Chain A
Amino acid sequence: MLSPKRTRYRKQHKGRIHGNAKGGTKLNFGAYGLKATTPDRVTSRQIEAARRAITRHMKRVGKLWICIFPDVPVSQKPAEVRQGKGKGSPEYWAARVHPGRIMFELDGVPEDVARRAFDLASAKLPVQTRFIKRLEEE
C-alpha cells in the first residue's frame, strides 16, 4: 500500500476539506479518468482496493496511473479508552481529495472496459465519482 517514506511530524491535525480542487482536474496521462465530485479522505487501503479492481478488470492490457497519494497520518485512540491523555497513535494514511480531483487515469483499453473498471473502483471509494474522457475524441 502507498505510504510516505519519511515525514516531518508523526501526527497531524484532522483538518477539513474546503472548496474544489485547485490542480489535478484535467487528464494528464491517460485517455480516461475517474474524477471525484465530493470531498473526503481516501485511505491507502481504499486506493489499493480500487487499484486491484481496475487492474483485475483490465486483465493484462492497458496502463493505469494513480494520481493521489496518502500523505496524511490519521490517528486513533484504542477502544474503551477515556478521553484525554494525549492524541492517539497513527493508524493509517489517507489522501485529502477535493471535488474535481482526478484520482485515477487509464489508457490503452476500450472505453467500455475503462468505464466498467472505474465503476468497480468507484464502489471501493468513499467519494462520489464521475467518468471522464479526453474531449478531443473525433
Chain B
Amino acid sequence: MSDFAVLEATARDRAGKGAARAVRKQGLVPGVIYGSSDASVLLKMDPRILSTHMRKAGFFATQFHVDVEGSKHRVLPKEVQFHPVTDDPIHVDFLRVTDRTRVTVEIPVRFENQEDAPGLTVGGVLNVVRYAVEVVTAAGDIPDEVVIDLSGLEIGDSVRISNVTLPEGVKPSITDRDFVIASIGAPTQIVQEEAAEEDDMDVPTIAEDDAAKEEGGEE
C-alpha cells in the first residue's frame, strides 16, 4: 500500500502549550503521531499542506505517510483542532495504523439521483442529518464513501442506516438504533409577516410560575 499521499513534517523536541505556541509563531502547525506500541512522535508541519488535503471529502478516512525527517509513518488523521474565530488549524493528531488495526472512522456520505427524488423536484430540501457515518473497520478496508440513492423519495421520507449496504467487515459504530442519515423536508415557509410585535417582557420567573401552578392545582 504505497499509494498513500506523503505529508512532509519536521520533528519538534518539546511538548506542552509553550512549545506549541512557539511553533505556531513560526507559522507552522504542531502535531503528534501516536498509536501501536511505538513511542509518540512530536512534529510540526506547514498548514498549507494540511489545508490542501482537508478540503477533500473523507480526510479523516484517508491514510497518509507522514515523513518526519526521513522516517515514514503510516497514519490516519485522528483529530484536527481549529481556532474558533479564524478556523485555522492549531493542532493535528495522527494515529499510527497497520492493515489490521481496528479503527473507528467517519466515512463521507455521497447522495446520488437527487433529480429522481420527487420530493426534491417539488421544492423539498434534502436535510442531511449526518454528512459522515462513523464505522468500525480494519484500516486496510476503509471504504472511500457511503453512497445513498435518493430516487423515489418524497417529502417526509428519510434514509436510515438500515437502508445502506456497507462493505463486508465494515460495521456502523452506533448499533443500538437505526439512525437517520438524511431526510427530505419541506422548505422554510415565509409566514405572513405581521406588524412588528413587541418583546414579551412579562415572562414569569420560575418561582411565580410554580406558585401559579400550585394555586391552579388547589382549586
Q: Residues of A at under 8 Å CB distance from B?
A: 1, 3-10, 20-22, 25-26, 31, 35, 37, 44-45, 52, 55-56, 58-64, 73, 89-93, 99-100, 107-108, 132, 134-138
Mostly, the B contact residues are: loop
B189 at the interface (CB under 8 A from A): yes
Contact with A along B123-138 (1 / 0, CB 8 A): 1011110010000000
Mostly, the A contact residues are: loop
7 smallest beta-carbon distances between A and B, as pairs:
A100-B84, A108-B125, A25-B84, A136-B57, A100-B85, A20-B84, A92-B199
Contact (Cβ within 8 A) B84 A134: no
Residues of B within 8 A of A92 (CB): 199, 201
Contact (Cβ within 8 A) B127 A63: yes
B144 at the interface (CB under 8 A from A): no
Q: How far is the CB of A29 from chain B (nearest CB, A)?
A: 8
Q: How far is the CB of A123 from chain B (nearest CB, A)?
A: 18
Q: Residues of B at under 8 Å CB distance from A?
A: 54-59, 82-85, 87, 108, 123, 125-128, 131, 185, 187-190, 193, 196-197, 199-201, 203-206, 208-209
Contact (Cβ within 8 A) B206 A135: no
Q: What is the count of residue pairs linking A and B with beta-carbon distances less than 8 angstroms?
A: 102
Q: In this complex, what residue of A is CB-closest to B190?
A: A55
Complex CA gap A62/B125 in Å reads 6
Which listed residue, B56, B84, B125, touches A21 by the CB 8 Å rule?
B84
Which listed residue, A3, A20, A61, A136, touches B131 by the CB 8 Å rule?
A136
Given A10-B205, A44-B199, A62-B125, decide whether A136 and B58 contact each other with a Cβ distance below 8 A: yes
Contact (Cβ within 8 A) A135 B199: no
Contact (Cβ within 8 A) A62 B84: no
Which listed residue, A7, A37, A56, A137, touches B190 by the CB 8 Å rule?
A56
19 contacts between A and B (CB under 8 A): A1-B200, A6-B206, A6-B209, A8-B205, A25-B84, A52-B193, A60-B190, A61-B123, A62-B187, A63-B125, A64-B188, A91-B201, A93-B199, A93-B201, A99-B84, A100-B84, A108-B126, A134-B131, A136-B57
Q: In this complex, what residue of B is CB-closest to A31?
A: B128
Residues of A within 8 A of B85 (CB): 20-21, 35, 37, 99-100
Contact (Cβ within 8 A) A108 B187: yes
Which listed residue, B55, B58, B204, touches A6 by the CB 8 Å rule?
B204
Residues of B within 8 A of A134 (CB): 131
Q: How far is the CB of B100 from chain A (nearest CB, A)?
A: 27
Residues of A within 8 A of B199 (CB): 1, 3, 44-45, 91-93
